Structure formats: structure tokens, C-alpha cells
Chains A and B, each alone.
Chain A
Amino acid sequence: MAEQILLSALSKLLPASALLTSKEALTPYECDGLSVYKGLPLAVVLPQTIEEAQSIIKLCQQYHTPIIARGAGTGLAGGAMPTKGAVVLSLAKFNEILDVDVDNRTATVQPGVRNLAISDAVAQHGLYYAPDPSSQIACTIGGNVAENSGGVHCLKYGLTVHNVLGVTFLTVDGELIELGGKALDDAGYDLLALIHGSEGLLGVMVEVTVKLLPTPEVAKVCMAIFDDIEKAGQAVCDIIAEGIVPAGLEMMDALAIQAAEAYAKAGYPTDAQAIVLCEIDGTEGGVAEFIEKVEIVLTKGGAVETRVSQSEVERMQFWAGRKAAFPAVGRLAPDYYCMDGTIPKSRLAEVLKQISLWSDEYGLPVANVFHAGDGNMHPLILYDANKPGELEETEEFGRKILELCVQVGGTITGEHGVGVEKLDSMCVQFGKLELTQFLAIKDAFDDEGLLNPGKAVPTLHRCAELGGMHVHNGELPHPELERF
């Protein structure tokens, strides 16, 4: 009944084209980039103005209806997956670049603007927006803030949180709050940091001001080929030890190389056990000096061959294979499951070895692509969802990998977010006290729990049901809670 009243109120507020309620219209919104988790919402709304978004939020609050903000739906953790009875608030129509301030090197954009569209719009001024998640042609800046997205250039240029100067968002009460602006900091608590990676649980973004950087004069990539993945891992550490901060430092294993080469024809030798791609950018002279150093370090580290890109075309070709790794691996099996753990680089060899043992045990092949510079690994588990039980086995295998990441001092998610996918793994990484604090923060912003409920932070009950998983300090989690 309340649902009908809400829908009727929304229909008075919005034009018919901005309120979707039929099954056919809702189906395209049933999942995000992680398509194994699906659900149909009560409605999808597509406001055009801040005032419309405000009114929608106030109505939803009045009728105690959950609100799920959504950008391009490219997320990989089910963070934008609809739940039954919820209203999906699409920011697709918030797609304008509002202001490019060349003198201050900022762009103020609506949250539905695509990541790459910002760099395209400011390229004429010799500027660009640095974070480059692999979905950058499609993903939106609002989603990037919500997930604190990374990319291949994080080591040198940071994550989304390091490249955003201001955010305007709506609270669950429909209040408009401005954080930051074009200055480098703001008064009060750093809510700008807190809102990054908050997965739509704290507010709905309506405007974002990003920092623009001068486009580097030149960039060169050194590709190094290894016959042993351990040597490749060590060589990555050697580059850092040499005092070099590459713009990008990536690694792929044999299966990923073979898939990428078959798909993108990047010139990767298909008998290699590992490839390291190391990009240096900056001024002409500086790049020449550093790329030479990189080549020496990689050769000393046991690379059987190194190649330095001699032109922009060749640089793009070296990257083509890495950037196409996901779709390339996608051709090897009906489905793949992408993990996102981060580990200390020095533990890479042992983690890969363990993944390989489990891969044999489960009979599920794994291709590894790795943001080696910052320790963020993306094992891609190959499976067939149509084979009964194989998805469940894959998920179990994936959870084991994430537990291992936590055990070696890392984290369950480097850049994809928790969403619905990693709720159980959150119980591994955090104990009761931390989870309680997260829930208290959520409560401070949204005491009724209407903003993207059931995502990002698990309930204590869920973790207790899962039983003895938290691996910190060797303490048993939640001893006071009843087990089932």
C-alpha cells in the first residue's frame, strides 16, 4: 500500500520517462558489473535536477523506502544491485561538465559524467584527470567517488580520494551539503575522505570537483619478459628499491599473457611465465634517464628480454594486451570471477603459489593480472555458471584467496569495493569493534538505514553466523554472540 502511495507521489513529481516501474524497463537495472547478483527494485527514477533528486529522497524517507544511487552500473562488487522494494536513483541525467577552471586546474562536473569524458574535455588545455579505472570509458565520476576507484596509475598519482577537491551531496533528509571546493582543504572533519569509498551508504552525490594535472610531456613503457614469476615479482620490488616511482607498474602471468596475446596481438611472447610493464612519465630528459635505469634493474633481475617503447603507437600496443586482459580471459571460459585483494608486494610469490595449489584442487583455472606497483592483485577464476555447483565452488575459492590476502597483511578489496559480494570477507578483515564503529558511522548519517542498505558493512549477526573467521590477533570473533 505504502509502495503504491510512493509510486503515485513520484509520478506526480517526475515525467513518465523518468519513472520506470514495468518489469521490462526495470530489468536493465537488475545488476551492475557483477551479474551473478541480481534483483528487481520497486522503481527506477531518473531525476534531472538537484531539486528533483531532493524531492525523491524526501519522499523515500517519508515512506521508509531504501534508496540505491546508481551511476553507469559498471561496479564489480554488486554495490549498485537493486533490492526488493527499493528505489534506484539513477544519476544518468546528471551528465554535464559544469565548469572547467584552467587557472586553478579543476573541473566541476555532475556525478553522471564519465571518467574519460573529463580528460577529453580538458585535453585542449594540456590537462587531464589522473585516476583511470579500466572501465574509464563507461564508468562515472560519481561511482568513482563512491568506490574510491583506482586504476593503473595509482602508485604515482593516487586514488580517486587524492584527486577530488570537493563533493556536494544530499543527505538522507534531502539536505544539500558542500564539502571542499577549489581550495586544497576545508574546515571541519575530513568528510570528503569519508565519503570516498562509502558505496552510497552515507549520501547521494550531486556534484564533484576534481583536480586536473598537466599532461606529462612524454611517457615510455619498458616491457620485460620473464621465464619465472618469482623473479618477476622480485624485480618489481627492485625497481622500487632503486628509488624509482613508475607511473604504472603491472604484471601478468602465463595464462593471462596467452589470453591477452590471442585477443589483442600486443606482441607478448606466449611462452613467457610473466610479463612486467613499467611506465615512466614526465619531462623528456627525466624519462630517458629513468627508463634506462628501469631496463637495467629488470635485466639484472633476470628478465630474458626487455623492450622499451620507441613511439606512442608502440607504447599503446604494449598496454593493449594488459588493458584487454579481462575480456581476453573472458574468452577462455563461459564465466570468470574477478578478485580484488591487495597484498604487500614481497608476499606475491607465496600467494600465487597457494592460489595455484587451490586452482588444482578445485579444478578451476586462474589467470593473474596484478597492479604490481601497489600490490593490488586481480586473480580471475575461470568457471562455468551452467555447471551445477561451480559458481558456489568459485565463490568459496575466491573467499579463500581474500582470507589469504588478509593473513599476509593485505586487504579483501583494493579498488572494487565490498558491495554485496565481499560482506562475508569483511568479517575476516574486521572484528566486532570495528564493524560496530562502521555501523555507528552509518547511523550518524542515516539512522533509518535507507541509503543502499545491506551493502559494504555486514551486520554483526551475519558475521557471527559465519563463525570463527576473523583472523586478526588470533582472537576468536564475537565470543559473546550465540552460534547457529
Chain B
Amino acid sequence: MGNLTQQLQAQVEAAYQAETALNIIGGDSKSWYGREPVGEALHVGEHQGIINYMPTELVVTVRAGTTLSEIAGALDKHQQRLPFDPPYFGEAATIGGTVACNFSGPRRPYAGSCRDFVLGCTMLNGKGEKLRFGGEVMKNVAGFDVSRLMAGSLGTLGVLLDISFKILPHRLAEQTVVIDADFKQAIKLMNHWAGTPLPVTAMCADGQSVYFRICGAPSAVERSCKEIGGTIFDDGKSFWKDLREHHLPFFDTDKTLYRLSVPPAAEFISLDGASDSDWFIGWGGAQRWLKSDLPFDVIQQYAKKLGGHARIMRGGDRSEEVFAPLSPALMTLHTKLKHSFDPKGTLNPGRMYKDL
């Protein structure tokens, strides 16, 4: 427990010398995500601790192995939180893994993504060199923005050692309202209210109902609920948490769970071989979950037609690609960039794309 920088550095250096692969593991809560992991385990989970927390600066710096629950507890004492509402997917979930996956919860379209709140990081590149980018201030344009690049790179560019975040205060009041609506109506409603100044902080639809969460000053919440209409949903708090953690009954499935990221107002067009009960729409229309046995490329083509992209979230064939294909020119840039950080392909090789 504590600062394991030297140990981790030695392990990466040794793997670089030996030209072997490392599989970076934090709390091991997301090993099901991305392509099949390969290589010797590099355990970052015990590299823990809150290094610096300055409530009035709205900044916190934490070691990558710190659990999300420890961070949430510390911030909560000052009525603050990580604004992107990270899903845990397991109590052991660490902040390093969360950043590597760029996972954000239901608040994401209105507050911003995990990547949006990253201010800086210390990392080991594939040679085991310790590098520090960004910082602990909100505005910083010195040098390329490597810290934000790390978000969502699935450990293929570097081993995160610590990360600095912008944090925000809790909102005062919160209420959830529900309105009966099919998917087509729900998408219209969600995008209508997203275009107004009302303080909506989450919206989703399950095919029967559309759910709105409103947070802010008590008077603004009361007024917004009246304007949006529908009925007050008393279990709002646990509902949004269950959605975030994929604990709603919808997510209990043996089929492959696909995630489609599309423009929020993209029309709901049915897909041959999928019924309405196979869909769940979150992020005000921008993130659509589909459970299906259809092949990935069919789902990807469908998402592309809507102006977005698809990925396999859970299940499926993880020895094949699980993320949307990149154009040849873009893949070339990816390969060169990977090489600039990790010249011998030591870190999480193939976790994101086969050839990366």
C-alpha cells in the first residue's frame, strides 16, 4: 500500500528489456472490457493514496490504484465529487482503470466525461520512464495534452501512476420524474428538454418510460419538474445508480452487450433481429445499449448510419476486434503514436485493437 512507483518502474523496465508483454491490472474489476488481455500481470492496485486534495482549488490528485469509493468518501466530506459520475462495476474499481477506460455515468452529457476532468497525470511510458504532464490547475496549455490522451487508451500508451482531476460541488436538490413514452417519443422529449436552460442532469428511456433527473437550487428543481411534467419517481437515486452500474434488470443477459454512441437526436430506427426490449437508451439519446447475438459488424454499420460508432461492451468474441474499425490513415497515426510511447509494444498489447 502506498507509493509503489519504483517497483512498478522496475517491472516495466525489465519487460522492456526482455521485450515481453505486461497486462496492467488495478482492482481487476474491468478485465471483461476490451480485447482479451495478454502478458504478465502488472499490479497497480496497491499504488494507492490521495496525494493532494485542495477543496477550494476544486482539484484532487490521487494515485492510480486508489479505489473510487475511497475518493468519493474523501470528496463527500467537503460536499464535492468527481463530476463525471464514474461507474464502478465492482467495489475494487480504481481510478486508474476508470481513466484508462474513460468510463462516465448518466451525468456525462451534461457535466462532461472522465477525460474532460483530467488535468494532469504522472505515468510510465513503455520504457519505464516516469513522465509528468498537465498539472493541478484548470487552465494549462503548455505542451501537448498527453493527460487527456491517456483517458480511454486502455493502458496501451502508459501506466498511470497518479492523476489530477477538476472536481465540483454537489448540487443542492435532486428529483426524478417519469413520463410514459416509446423510444421515438422519448428521443424527441429528451432532446427537447436538453435544448432548454432547465438543470437536467440525466435522461434515459427503456421503451415504456422516459426518466429525467433534475438537480440544482431547490426552487429551480421544483419549477423544472412542473414544466417537464410526468410523475415524481421516488426511487430516483437508486434507479440512476443501478443504471450506472448496469444493475437494472435490462443488463441481466447472456447475449452480447453492445454500446452505440450516436448523435443524441438520431432517430430510433429498428434493427432487423432486435426488438424494443433489447434496447435501453441513455445519455439523453447519445448512448444506446443493445443486447443481441447479431455480429459486431452489423451493429457497427447500423451505428455508423446513425452518425456514430459501436463497440462490444460485454461478451462477444474478444479474440476479434471489439471497437469500431479505424480508417487506414487514422490507424497509421495510432500505430505511430503507440510506438512513440511504447516502442516495443510492452503495455497492454492488443487490448484495444489487434495491431496496437
Q: Which residues of A contact B (CB under 8 A)?
A: 101-106, 125-127, 147-148, 150, 154-155, 158-159, 161-162, 171, 175-178, 181-191, 193-194, 196-198, 202, 214-217, 237-238, 240-241, 243-245, 282-283, 285-286, 288-290, 342-346, 371, 374-376, 409-418, 422, 425-426, 429-430, 433-434, 437-438, 440-445, 456-457, 472
Contacts and interface: CB of A to CB of B under 8 A. Distances in A.
B69 interface: no
Contacts of A375: 57, 137-139
Nearest to A148: B141
The 7 closest A-B pairs by CB, nearest first: A285-B219, A414-B139, A182-B263, A193-B148, A286-B217, A243-B169, A103-B265
Contact of B217 (A147, A191, A285, A445): A285
Contacts of B220: 282-283, 285-286
B262 interface: yes
A189 B152 contact: yes
Contacts of A286: 199, 216-217, 219-220
A346 B308 contact: no
B6 interface: no
Interface stretch (B13-21, B40-48, B106-114, B177-185): B106-114
Interface string B44-72: 00000000001111110000000000000
Contacts of A189: 149, 152-153, 157, 334, 337
Contacts of A175: 329
Given A147-B141, A154-B139, A343-B137, A185 B149 contact: no
Contacts of A237: 56
Given A191-B333, A241-B55, A375-B139, A158 B195 contact: no
Contacts of B194: 105, 214
Interface of B: 54-59, 79-80, 102, 108-109, 112-113, 115-116, 125, 129-133, 135-146, 148-149, 151-153, 157, 168-170, 172, 191, 194-199, 216-220, 223-224, 261-266, 283, 286-287, 307-309, 311, 323-327, 329-330, 333-334, 336-337, 339-341, 352-353
B39 to A, nearest CB: 20
A412 B142 contact: yes
Given A155-B138, A245-B169, A438 B144 contact: yes
A181 B307 contact: yes
Contacts of A196: 145
Given A191-B333, A198-B144, A240-B58, A283 B223 contact: yes
Given A283-B217, A426-B142, 7 more contacts: A161-B145, A185-B113, A243-B170, A282-B216, A441-B146, A456-B143, A457-B143
A441 to B, nearest CB: 5
Given A103-B191, A184-B283, A283 B216 contact: yes
26 contacts: A103-B265, A104-B266, A105-B194, A177-B330, A184-B113, A185-B102, A188-B352, A189-B334, A190-B148, A190-B149, A190-B151, A202-B144, A214-B197, A244-B169, A282-B197, A283-B198, A288-B219, A343-B137, A376-B137, A409-B137, A411-B139, A413-B140, A414-B139, A429-B143, A437-B125, A444-B336
Nearest to B311: A187
Contact of B340 (A125, A187, A202, A444): A444
A276 to B, nearest CB: 15
Given A190-B149, A193-B115, A283-B198, A342 B139 contact: yes
Contacts of B141: 147-148, 197, 411, 413-418
Contacts of A198: 144-145
A447 to B, nearest CB: 8
B218 to A, nearest CB: 8
B115 A190 contact: yes
Contacts of A415: 139, 141
A216 B311 contact: no
B261 A444 contact: no
Nearest to B149: A194
A103 B264 CA distance: 8
Contact of A441 (B130, B191, B307, B337): B337
Contact of B142 (A106, A371, A376, A422): A422
Contact of B140 (A342, A438, A441, A442): A342
A104 B137 contact: no
Contacts of A283: 197-199, 216-217, 220, 223-224
A374 B325 CA distance: 38
A437 B340 contact: yes
A215 to B, nearest CB: 7
A209 B339 CA distance: 29
A465 B308 CA distance: 49
B103 to A, nearest CB: 11
Given A171-B329, A190-B149, A193-B149, A185 B199 contact: no
